[in-house]
Amino acid sequence: MWLLDKMLRQVVRQGQLRVIDHDGSEHRYGDLCAEPVTIRFTDKGAALHVAKDPRIGAGEAYMDGRLVVEPPHDIRDMVLLVMQNANRRSGAISAPNPFKRGIDWVFAKADQINLRPKASSNVAHHYELTRQFYELFLDEDRQYTMAYFRDPASSLERAQVDKKALIAAKLRLGPGMRVLDIGCGWGGLGLYLNRHFGCEGLGVSLAPDQVRFANERAEAAGVADKVKFQLIDYRDVSGQFDRITSVGMIEHVGAPHFGEYFAKTNELLADDGIMLTHTIGRTGPPGTTDKWTRKYIFPGGYIPAMSELVSACERSGWEIGDVEVLRYHYAHTLAEWYRRTTMHEAEITALYDARLFRMWQFYLAGAEQSFRHGSMVNFHIQSVKQRSALPMTRDYIGAEAARLSALDDAPEWHLERKAAE
């Protein structure tokens, strides 16, 4: 406990963290007048496992039941407390050993080299969990990216409708346009664009069940001849498209492949076309993906800095038409996903086990606080080959997004309704 004790004395100043070691000994850190968040270690080696490298050790200890957060608090409260304090002391919760930090940096960079076979296996690691699992916390349309909260009090379903409206507004769509959706998920955006604009869509993904489910939805909607979904790497797509969307996909590309990504999409887009890249981004300079996320959640994943994306665009012949930074929207989205996940602890444990449930809690809690108190935001980057493809001002975006939002009532989440019955 001595090593973790030393670290926590340096880090925790705001709020109070109460630690009960496996032998019952108690340690308090921070403001002793504040209400404590209490954690308990269940075995002799747990505290040392966390202290050796908190960035991966804390998550593993929680997943394995070696670190328990005592009621009335939960892991979300603990992560919030730690991140609020860690931001005040940058680097305070890194691995203590500089050599270890250097080795981790090398592995983090190498992990971003996503050749085709590795890209497919990385996607399968995360997205091939069962349909039933994702249904337990996503909205009715299964949007697994940031929702757009025009009002923080909006439901997740309303905010996801508004997100699709905002994306569509930035694409300036018309009937019969061919739209390529890279990283199409469960097909919601492609079907939305067809329904509102009569677009022909091709959605591509490396997740087999996502593609199956999206095609089932297109069949059920009677538009399978207009909206198609294929299991294919975007690098192998051919043809020409009037519009390209990429929503929450470039985070899986890896920095070494940004140039390849923007060159390929430039090749696929018509000269008067528009592309919109929607991605998580970091507010600071380029960095690396933490070890826990690489190992358990998004192998091969990387959150880009704005400088990396814009420079890759410039080198590939694009002009930037518009950039928007969306700040707290994903924090609200993740908080709701966390609430819904926690609602369904019994079902998720039955589908998998308690360890995966706790892993998912830790992932969502950590991600939420990265958007509330860390350096994570979302970027919308609108790219064109000809500047004449866009109006003189960006006023059209707000007007069209409002028009589209008004066309759709937000559905009620069926599991919320079921829980209330």
In angstroms, the CA 212 to CA 206 distance is 11
Residue 395 has pLDDT above 70, yes or no: yes
User: How deeply is 32 buried, as exposed, middle or buried, from its count of CB atoms within 10 A (0-12, 13-18, 19+)?
Assistant: exposed
Please report the pLDDT score of residue 188 as a whole number.
98
Q: 116-420 belongs to which CATH class? A: alpha beta
- Split at pLDDT 50, 70, 90, the class of 144 is very high
2-96: which CATH topology? Answer: Nonspecific Lipid-transfer Protein; Chain A (3.30.1050)
Q: Please give the mean pLDDT across all residues of the chain.
A: 92
| pLDDT for res 122 | 63
User: Quick check: 199 pLDDT over 60?
Assistant: yes
pLDDT for 70 beyond 80: yes
Q: Would you place residue 421 in the very low, low, confident or very high pLDDT band (cuts 50, 70, 90)?
A: low
Rounded Cα distance between 419 and 421, Å, is 6
The pLDDT, as a whole number, for residue 129 is 82
Tell me the pLDDT tens digit for each residue of 256-270. 999 999 999 999 999
Q: Counting Cβ atoms within 10 Å, is residue 84 exposed (0-12), middle (13-18) or buried (19+)?
A: middle
pTM, two decimals, is 0.92
% of residues, the chain, pLDDT over 70: 89
Q: Per-residue pLDDT averaged across 411-421, rounded?
A: 79
What are the pLDDT digits (tens) for 213-252?
A: 999 999 999 999 999 999 999 999 999 999 999 999 999 9
Residue 143 amino acid letter:
Q
**Would you state the pLDDT for residue 111?**
54
> How many CA atoms does the CB half-sphere of 100 hold within 13 Å?
10
CB 144 within 8 A of CB 126: no
End-to-end CA distance of the chain: 48
pLDDT score, position 300: 87
Give tens-digit pLDDT for 291-319.
999 999 988 899 999 999 999 999 999 99
CA–CA dist 208, 215 (Å, integer): 11
The answer on pLDDT for 104 being more than 90 is no
pLDDT number for residue 92: 47
Tell me what the mean pLDDT of segment 92-100 comes to: 51
Residues 344-364 pLDDT 10s:
999 999 999 999 999 999 999
Domain boundaries, the chain: 2-96, 116-420
CA distance 2 to 52: 11
Over residues 149-172, the pLDDT tens digits come to: 999 999 999 999 999 999 999 999
Rounded to whole angstroms, the Cα distance separating 115 from 157 reads: 35
pLDDT at 116 over 80: no
Task: Label residue 86 by pLDDT band (50, 70, 90).
Answer: confident
Confidence of residue 120 (pLDDT cuts 50, 70, 90): low
